[in-house]
Structure 1
Amino acid sequence: MFLDIGMPDLDGYELCKILKALPEANMVKFYSQSGWGTDKYIESSRQAGFDDHFVKPLSKETIKKVMD
């Protein structure tokens, strides 16, 4: 699942935490995507439970690589 970090009301970090707590998400991989790619945002993504962090725009090759 790709989640954007900068969303109004509920950011991607919080949404990831909520979704990962669901038993149905046990086998789901979570990927953050953002226009922000500094170490601060990458670390925040890891702390929230994301499996990896990508800086937008994501290329088709990047998406294919993740999906394989």
Structure 2
Amino acid sequence: MCNELFSLRDKVAIITGTGKGLGKSMAIEDLSGVVVFLASSASDYVAGQVICVDGGFSIR
């Protein structure tokens, strides 16, 4: 499913008329740090948060 979503990223950028926040498209590997953090005990007290991993797209 992730591969299918990531294959749409360039189409979405064209449709929304926006570029890439950090100047490159996001790869699946770019999510690995957040996934590891959330799966570890370091995130035990993280609750009810939205962690936005979008390379700055949302602040444009």
Q: How does the TM-score come out when normalised to structure 2?
A: 0.33
Q: How does the TM-score come out when normalised to structure 1?
A: 0.31
Q: Which has the higher helix share?
A: 2
Q: Which has the higher contact order (CA 8 A, sep 6+)?
A: 2
- Of the two, which has the highest radius of gyration? 2
Q: Which has the higher strand share?
A: 1
